[in-house]
Structure 1
Amino acid sequence: MRPTLRQLQYLVATADTGRFSDAAERLHVSQPSLSAQIAEAESHLGAIVFERGRHGARMTPLGAEIVRRARYVLRQMEDMQSIAKSGGLGLYGRVRMGVLPTIGPYLLPRATGTLHREFPDLRLSIREESTVELQDKLTDGQMDVLISTPEDHSPTDSAHLFRESLWVAVPSDDPLAAEAGPLDLDQLAGRPVLTLGMGHRLTSLVSELAHAAGAFVSTDYEGTSLDAIRHMAALGAGVAVLPQLYVTCEARRDDVLVYRRIDTPMAERNIALVWRQGSPLTDGLQQLADALRTAASTILDEV
């Protein structure tokens, strides 16, 4: 016999919460019932998915792979239900979107009104993650679509949204603030550069820029957000490198810092809507990309 879809839901909920009791509460069933169903699923599979103990329910190495595949099966079932309800047109029901923290807070608020009008039956669940986490969660079915850098997600399908430049932010008394207009890359030579921690595409891009300019990425100050990087630059910790969308939406309100675009093709990044190949949501996601593309263009045209 095979595990049922309900049993797969129990496996995934237990993996997410780490405890049988919490998983049972999430799924509105009794803990004994959930535990019995998980034991039956393990019997059908011929494998132990969870180690039981005072620490809760910890996945075995084989169990982690089983749960990953269970997520995929459940996601496929949800896709089937969504496309059946929508008649194959547009987007319907819950769609889980992952987005880079350097993009989501600045793009999505501008797109909300359009999305509500064009997709009235769409329930968009949004979560910010690093590039690495986005890829993992798209692969195992925890997310349906991403707003991210397409080169970091393969093999996938994608729709281009926009291309943005990178800018520096420095205090008004910094030598780089003495001039206006684009900044030549070699003007960063010898300077400490501020960026996010590891796991972000932006960090890799800034590191490549620093190397090409003869600058260096500061290891004393590692930002957890773009706002943190901007504030550290204001305190003289280094030169902040910030994406254009953020500069347009947030940073330009700050009169403490001076902002200049880095004048090199290296200081640009592509942003796309990314989804799994063969997704039944493809037609609707293309429509979603159109709406996001329009919102991004409106913002970037403000520079």
Structure 2
Amino acid sequence: MRQIEYFVAVAETQSFGAAAQSLAVTQPSLSKQIQALEADLGVVLFERTSRRVSLTPQGRALLPDAQRVLRQARRFRNKARSLGFDTDIRLVAGVLPSIGAYFMPRMIERLRQEMPGLKLSFVEGSSSELARQLVQGELDFVLASETDRTDLARRDLFTETLWLCSTPEDPVMQSDAPATLSDLKGRTLLTLSPEFHLNAIVARLAAQAGATLSTEYRGASLDAIRQIAANGPEVGVLPSLYALGEAIRDPHFKVRRLLGYDAEHPVVFYTRTSSPLQALNARLADIIILEKQAIRAERAPQFQV
């Protein structure tokens, strides 16, 4: 590429001296590179005399192609330098079920405004499964909860509060004030299946409250938890993105916040430690935090979030 650049410079200035000066190289070095290019191509590019330099017929034939190659190389370089942020890049994210349905649509819309060249798609799964796919290179980043993987870079984003749901007649749903663990003594708590970190969180809360963890449902559907709890006698435990999103959408769906030690669901931004997109990843994490803060501010007047 350097030799092509030298060839174009000499052809356009019709002078080895002027070309060397424009390229900030010595004239002997420039001449040596042109000779090497001619030897490699098997053609003579310039007719040299003591007074002037002119293109040979072969040189004239090759000049337009050389100029086009340089233009493409400059575009390639400029695009590569900008890919860390906005320009024509596609990423695939792995997200938890509550993140996918109740956060990603807003996040994608925000990215359209702030990073219009970034195209983002996402798949849902458990933290452990998403982490595996990230390590395998199937995903570019993951929004998940805690995982036992130690080979990933992580940045803590936010925590979701936990909310209860049950039948309208359930005693635990008769107050608008936050519930405490003592309100759940002797009850059966229902949440996602064990491959999700939320299950471990709710299991710890159940042990602290003197409650039990239901084994009736093993799946990834927060809607299923809601429907099962709505028919009793279990008390569903849901993360805030889903619980409050549904409560806003459906005024008849009542939820009650749960207070207590560890009554939170952490959300973490995971990337491969080898990812070359560190600047982009940092910016994405910042935007995710800002969007979650915006959601929280919108809901604050209606819910004690």
TM-score by length of 1: 0.68
> Equivalents in 1 of 2:206, 2:78: separation in Å?
47
Asked whether 1:269 is paired with 2:265, we answer yes
Could you tell me whether the CA contact under 8 Å between 2:108 and 2:120 is conserved in 1?
A: no
Corresponding residue number in structure 2 for 1:215: 211
Q: Shift of residue 125 of structure 1?
A: 2.6
Could you tell me whether the CA contact under 8 Å between 1:132 and 1:199 is conserved in 2?
A: yes
Asked whether 1:114 is paired with 2:94, we answer no
Could you tell me whether the CA contact under 8 Å between 1:172 and 1:256 is conserved in 2?
A: no
The equivalent position to 2:171 in structure 1, one of 167, 171, 175, is 175
Corresponding residue number in structure 1 for 2:293: 297
Could you tell me whether the CA contact under 8 Å between 1:161 and 1:289 is conserved in 2?
A: yes
> Equivalents in 1 of 2:111, 2:217: separation in Å?
38
Q: Residues 19-38 of structure 1 correspond to what in structure 2 (within 5 A)?
A: none
Q: Shift of residue 205 of structure 1?
A: 1.1
Residue type at the aligned position of 1:287: R
Corresponding residue number in structure 2 for 1:93: 89
Cα 1:158–1:141 shift into 2, 3 Å: same
Could you tell me whether the CA contact under 8 Å between 1:189 and 1:213 is conserved in 2?
A: yes
Q: Residues 141-290 of structure 1 correspond to what in structure 2 (within 5 A)?
A: 141-290=137-286
> Equivalents in 2 of 1:102, 1:127: separation in Å?
12
Q: Return 5+ residue gaps in structure 2 as ranges.
A: 1-75
Corresponding residue number in structure 1 for 2:48: none
Cα 1:191–1:252 shift into 2, 3 Å: farther
Residue type at the aligned position of 1:148: A
Cα 1:93–1:82 shift into 2, 3 Å: farther
Could you tell me whether the CA contact under 8 Å between 1:170 and 1:257 is conserved in 2?
A: no
User: Equivalent pairs: percent with the same residue?
Assistant: 36
Q: 1:102 aligns to what SS in structure 2?
A: helix
Could you tell me whether the CA contact under 8 Å between 1:168 and 1:260 is conserved in 2?
A: yes
Q: Shift of residue 286 of structure 1?
A: 0.9
Cα 1:120–1:86 shift into 2, 3 Å: farther
The equivalent position to 2:126 in structure 1, one of 124, 130, 141, is 130
Q: Shift of residue 274 of structure 1?
A: 1.1
Q: 1:258 aligns to what SS in structure 2?
A: coil
Q: Return 5+ residue gaps in structure 1 as ranges.
A: 1-80
Could you tell me whether the CA contact under 8 Å between 1:150 and 1:274 is conserved in 2?
A: no
Cα 1:135–1:151 shift into 2, 3 Å: closer
Matched residue pairs, number? Answer: 223
Q: Which has the larger radius of gyration?
A: 2
Could you tell me whether the CA contact under 8 Å between 2:127 and 2:146 is conserved in 1?
A: no
Cα 1:269–1:152 shift into 2, 3 Å: farther
Please say which of residues 147-156 and 110-119 is displaced more in the overlay. Answer: 147-156
Residue deviations 1:109-149, cap 9 Å, x none? 11222201222222223111111211111111111100112
Residue type at the aligned position of 1:129: G
Could you tell me whether the CA contact under 8 Å between 1:135 and 1:152 is conserved in 2?
A: no
Cα 1:184–1:83 shift into 2, 3 Å: farther
Cα 1:123–1:83 shift into 2, 3 Å: farther
> Equivalents in 2 of 1:112, 1:142: separation in Å?
20
Could you tell me whether the CA contact under 8 Å between 2:165 and 2:254 is conserved in 1?
A: yes
Q: Which runs of 4+ in 1 moved over 6 A?
A: 81-84
> Equivalents in 2 of 1:153, 1:103: separation in Å?
20
Q: Shift of residue 240 of structure 1?
A: 0.4
> Equivalents in 1 of 2:139, 2:220: separation in Å?
23
Q: 1:250 aligns to what SS in structure 2?
A: helix
Q: 1:103 aligns to what SS in structure 2?
A: helix
Instruction: Output the aligned Cα RMSD.
Output: 2.2
> Equivalents in 1 of 2:216, 2:159: separation in Å?
30
Q: 2:163 aligns to what SS in structure 1?
A: strand
